[in-house]
Amino acid sequence: MNYGPLLFLGILFTLASSWVGLVLMPNRQLGALTANTSTNDTGVVVVYPQPRHGEAQQGAEHYRSLGCVYCHSQQVRPEGFGSDIERGWGRRRTVSRDYLYDKPVMLGTSRTGPDLTNIGERQSSHDWHYSHLYNPQITSKGSVMPPYPFLFEKRRVPASGPSSDALKLSGEFAVEDGWEVVPRPQARQLVEYLRSLKTTVDLPEAPLPKAAAVEE
């Protein structure tokens, strides 16, 4: 094999094959995917998915910047493949359309922590999320998730009385009398993003199981 040009062409054509197959073809098949419009049981027209706005979108940037994706996936595998659905991580598998507006798409490849596809549905309480981010041991004893104290501000209780969004800390996590811990804007935005994470809408390619669909 001493013929340079042949080697050169072989090198280019082999990579070109998968570049067409795994880069261009997926883009051709999925690049023009649009939101799904349907009418639910009560006659309301539902367009899904919707782009994120405001605080939830800013929160997605913090999720990216803090590298949450290295421990948390955002994908529910189909029924019978793994136990994602049995664990309550989602009522149906996720499909391409669920991620239409995500930039970047953060599917994740690790579950050092649980899947977060539907964390907004599983945990809707602001208080739970704030406590959990401030120190995961408060809500999930034994977790290996790092605490995020820098997303919070520890300050003196204002003269007008404790802030309405101050964390309710007790026991070993309590702060000294006269002090309180409040979320910074980053924490607020991150929690809005987490609360926005849910795939609870029926899609033709991924219908919700019947019993659950009736509940809606």
Nearest approach in angstroms of CB 125 to another protein is 19
CB-CB contact of 203 with 137 (8 Å): no
Strands 152-156 and 179-183: antiparallel
Handedness of CA 97, 64, 24, 81 (dihedral sign): negative
Q: Which 81-100 positions form the footprint of another protein (CB under 8 A)? A: 81-83, 86-87, 93-100
**Closest to 199 in 3D by CA, of 209, 208, 191, 190:** 208
Length of the chain: 216
DSSP H/E element including 129: helix 126-134
Sole window of 11-19, 40-48, 120-128, 190-198 interacting with another protein (rule: CB under 8 A)? 11-19
Nearest approach in angstroms of CB 22 to another protein is 4
Is there binding between residue 172 and another protein (CB under 8 A)? no
Integer-rounded Cα Rg, in Å, for the chain is: 23
Is there binding between residue 111 and another protein (CB under 8 A)? yes
Nearer to another protein, 63 or 130 (CB): 63
Q: Which 22-51 positions form the footprint of another protein (CB under 8 A)? A: 22-23, 26-27, 29-33
Nearer to another protein, 101 or 179 (CB): 101
Nearer to another protein, 166 or 186 (CB): 186
Q: Fill in the amino acid letter for 104.
A: P
Nearest approach in angstroms of CB 95 to another protein is 5
Q: Which 55-74 positions form the footprint of another protein (CB under 8 A)? A: 63-71, 73
Residue 91 has a CB neighbour count (10 Å cut-off) of: 20
Query: According to CB under 8 A, which one of 7, 46, 174, 212 is a site residue for another protein?
Result: 7
Query: According to CB under 8 A, which one of 121, 126, 128, 143 is a site residue for another protein?
Result: 143
The residues near 186 (Cβ < 8 Å, ≥ 6 apart) are 62, 151
